[in-house]
Amino acid sequence: MDIDLETNLPPDALDGMQHLVSDRAVRGETVLLNMGPQHPSTHGVLRLLLELDGEVVVNCVPDIGFLHTGIEKNMEAKTYLKAEVMTDRLDYLNNLGNNLTYVMAIEKLADLDVPPRAQAIRVLLTELQRIASHLVWLGTHALDAAAMSVFLYCFRERERILDIFEMVSGQRMMTTYFRPGGLWRDVTSGFEAAVRDFVSYFPPRVTEYDRLLTKNPIFLRRTKEIGYLEPEVALRHGVTGPMLRAAGIEFDLRKAQPYSGYELYDFDVPTHTDSDTYARYLMRMEEMRQSIRIVEQALNKLPLGPVRSNNRKYVPPPRSELGTSMEAVIHHFKLWTEGFIPPKGSVYVATESPRGELGVFLESDGGPKPYRVHWRTPSFTNIQILPILARGHLVADLVLLIGTVDILLGDVDR
């Protein structure tokens, strides 16, 4: 490849991107460096074009799309139920949260009822999912700061949660367990014991991570006063989730607009005012403790009853009815061949994912397939704050900043 000896750049290095770096880069006074897409600490396949002055980041241009899977386009070509399988693959650490958002959108579109037992199990499982997601975040975040052991502990605990998911849905990660109108089936007999076991097992473990990191001088120096984000800037950039709450703005959809029965549970939404990497770490640690509180409450008052709506136009009849009822056979046949047909219209439903506001925009044209699905994913919006956070910090800190935004490339690229 030809390299311009004056600027040390290949001729097309800045093709169409001159306006994103400073003039000094064009003159060759600063160094342009590609970080990723194959880089272990970019948490997936994120490419960052860095402009460096020595070791200091002058500009940082995120380049996304390496994990683009065209899920929105694919969903348009499948029936509503088949399309749900793809929701698991979006944010692969928040599978049940994606399922929940999607089925809630269908339920809103079709005006479906959901029995209380299904609601409670949904809350319980999505909170476990939040803990699992935060555990992956904590493990990798600590790993970025070169604390290897925390990673091993976190994944040990996460495995227990995934075992519970496997118990109820048959899958550790790609669950597709929530269905429009309720759940795929009721939880298995060992479920309550397994969750109760986890509820007593987990809080001491959080304390353990606390002891490893919270007052660890190396971790403190790596995270304190790194990546300060002003609340106004956060709002103007549409940042949500723990990032926004660490900037002192209390916004949690579970409290603000409770869905799926969150109003029944007693929990706190932690906020912080420091708005640096350390504050965001503290926030997410506290969120894990609050989630386990919700899990415990949901388990203690888990109502009995059906887990699926009785609306046969959307929910398949139980297997036992198929032998005795002609109507059930017809419904079964229609649902598994053509699928259900919600009324024409469009809805937007948002839930609080571990990363922020996860929304789905669903438009129906009165056919059996969704006409348009748009995922408003928190990572896609939050990643755009990265250049602002990174400016003026060292490259080594940038690694921690990627961690503190808690992006997931499956969620960014969709």
- Interface residues with other proteins (CB under 8 A) are 15-17, 19-20, 64-65, 68, 70, 72-74, 77, 108-109, 111, 235-240, 249, 251, 256-257, 345-348, 350, 357, 359, 361, 363, 371-372, 374, 376, 380-381, 383-384, 413-414
DSSP-assigned states of every residue in 137-170: HHHHHHHHTT-HHHHHHHHHHHHHHHHHHHHHHS
CB of 242 to other proteins, least distance (A): 15
User: How many angstroms separate the CA atoms of 327 and 330, rounded?
Assistant: 5
Residue closest to 121 by CA, chosen among 304, 284, 250: 304
Residue 339: both structure tokens together: 């699928």
Residue 194 contacts residue 291 (beta carbons within 8 Å): no
CB of 372 to other proteins, least distance (A): 5
CB of 26 to other proteins, least distance (A): 17
Residue number, 187 or 349, with CB nearest to other proteins: 349
CB of 269 to other proteins, least distance (A): 13
Residue number, 16 or 323, with CB nearest to other proteins: 16
CB of 47 to other proteins, least distance (A): 12
Residue number, 19 or 319, with CB nearest to other proteins: 19
CB of 86 to other proteins, least distance (A): 13
Residue number, 190 or 345, with CB nearest to other proteins: 345
DSSP-assigned states of every residue in 359-411: EEEEEE-SSSS-SEEEEE-HHHHHGGGHHHHHTTSBHHHHHHHHHHHT--HHH
CB of 31 to other proteins, least distance (A): 22
Residue 268: both structure tokens together: 């706190």
Residue number, 53 or 363, with CB nearest to other proteins: 363
Q: Residue 93 contacts by C-beta under 8 Å, 6 or more apart in sequence?
A: 129, 132, 133, 136, 354, 408
DSSP 4: B
Residue 3 contacts residue 9 (beta carbons within 8 Å): yes
Residue closest to 353 by CA, chosen among 293, 300, 410: 410
ω into 37 cis (within 30 of 0): yes
Name the region of 43 (left: φ>0; alpha: ψ -120 to 50; beta: rest).
left
Residue closest to 294 by CA, chosen among 270, 262, 271: 262
CB of 363 to other proteins, least distance (A): 6
Residue number, 164 or 350, with CB nearest to other proteins: 350
Residue number, 10 or 65, with CB nearest to other proteins: 65
Residue 20 contacts residue 383 (beta carbons within 8 Å): no
Residue number, 78 or 313, with CB nearest to other proteins: 78
